[in-house]
Every structure is written in C-alpha cells, then in structure tokens.
C-alpha cells in the first residue's frame, strides 16, 4: 500500500463520511482518497466522528454527496456482485490484520469458514485467537465479509455490527444457520 502523504494543517486532506441504507439498517461510512476506511452503525454523527478520530487519528467531514461510483460499487456488492468491489483503504491496519481480512474476502457468498481455517490458510495454525482479533478489528464490516467467519464448533460468535446483524447477513446469503453445527461448511461446502 502506498504511504499516506504527510500534510500540515494548511493542506490537510479531510476524509469524507456519509450515511446510507444497508442490508442491516442505516450505517455511516467514511472514505479517504484511497477508498472506504470505516463502516459503523449510525450511532449519531458526533459519536461516529469521535470514533473515527480515535481510531484513525484524523478528521472526517460529513458530505451529502458521496462519490456516485463508490456508492454504486457498494450497492452492487451488497446485491451479490463481488466482481467489482469498492476501493477499500486498510492503511490503518497491521500487516497481519490485512492478511486476515484479504483472506476473509475470498470466502464465497453463502459459505462460512472458521477462525482456525483462516489461521491454517495463513500458515499460522495456532493463531486462531489472533485471527479472531483481526476480524474484530475489521474497519469495514459489510464490505469485507467477516460475518462469514464463525467458530470451529459452528457457533456464530460476535460481530462488529451486532450478533443479530451477523445472523441476518448469513441468512440473506442463504446460509442454513441450523446446519452450522454439522461442520460440513469447514470443508468449504455450502451450509
């Protein structure tokens, strides 16, 4: 990833944020000049701005006119078209987190994988907890589908946007939540 340009206060580039409807209700989204940086349930504009500053150490400004192309790419992704995803800026994430999240992007719609599966795929078979931490720090849930990552015993586990949202997203994608405990999904089969 290219290094973010250093700016003084007079030339500071301010990230943009906006609200939009999502498959789990209204969300706030923010983007830098490199892509979407943050997605969160809309906790209120001031709270979103404070969370953004705390997490990224830079300002964000509300806009009523986000990029039409970016919004269209987001909506296509939410409608199942994963071939032209929106640009995502993970520059605030660690290399390990980025590796976990990029692998998470490869989980097909309608399928799930375990934290252990991701750890093994990364060549770190004992790093399931670290994978869980990386998934929990995903700054762009709904865009990088961490809702498709579950515990090895089929338990859905936590989700950044809430347990109910994770269940709703999995059901929307056709995952049989009752069948998760049979573990056939861990081999890559549709659950």
Helices within 62-154 (DSSP H only): 68-78, 95-104, 115-121, 128-136
Give catalytic status of residue 146 as yes or no: yes
* Tokens standing for residue 168: 């709703």
Largest CA-CA distance found in the chain, in angstroms, rounded:
58
Please state at what angle helix 95-104 crosses helix 128-136, rounded to 10 degrees. Answer: 90
Identify the active-site residue in 146, 149, 170, 175: 146
Across 64-100, b (16+ Cβ under 10 Å) vs e yields eebbeebeebbeebbeeeeeebbebbbebbeeebebb
C-alpha R_g of the chain = 17
Query: How far is C-alpha 87 from the chain's CA centre?
Result: 12
- Active-site residue list: 146
């Amino acid at each position: 990833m290219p290094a973010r340009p250093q700016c003084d206060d007079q030339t500071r580039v301010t990230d943009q944020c906006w609200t939009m409807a999502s498959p789990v209700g209204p969300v706030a989204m923010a983007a830098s000049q490199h892509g979407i940086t943050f997605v969160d349930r809309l906790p209120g504009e001031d709270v979103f701005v404070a969370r953004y500053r705390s997490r990224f150490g830079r300002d964000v400004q509300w806009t009523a006119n986000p990029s039409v192309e970016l919004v269209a790419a987001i909506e296509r992704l939410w409608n199942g078209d994963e071939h032209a995803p929106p640009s995502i800026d993970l520059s605030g994430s660690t290399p390990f987190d980025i590796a976990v999240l990029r692998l998470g992007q490869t989980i097909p719609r309608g399928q799930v994988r375990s934290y252990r599966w991701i750890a093994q795929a990364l060549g770190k078979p004992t790093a399931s907890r670290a994978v869980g931490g990386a998934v929990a720090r995903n700054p762009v849930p709904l865009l990088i589908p961490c809702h498709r990552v579950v515990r090895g015993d089929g338990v859905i586990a936590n989700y950044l946007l809430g347990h109910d949202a994770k269940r709703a997203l999995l059901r929307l994608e056709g995952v049989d939540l009752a069948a998760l405990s049979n573990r056939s999904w861990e081999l890559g089969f549709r659950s």
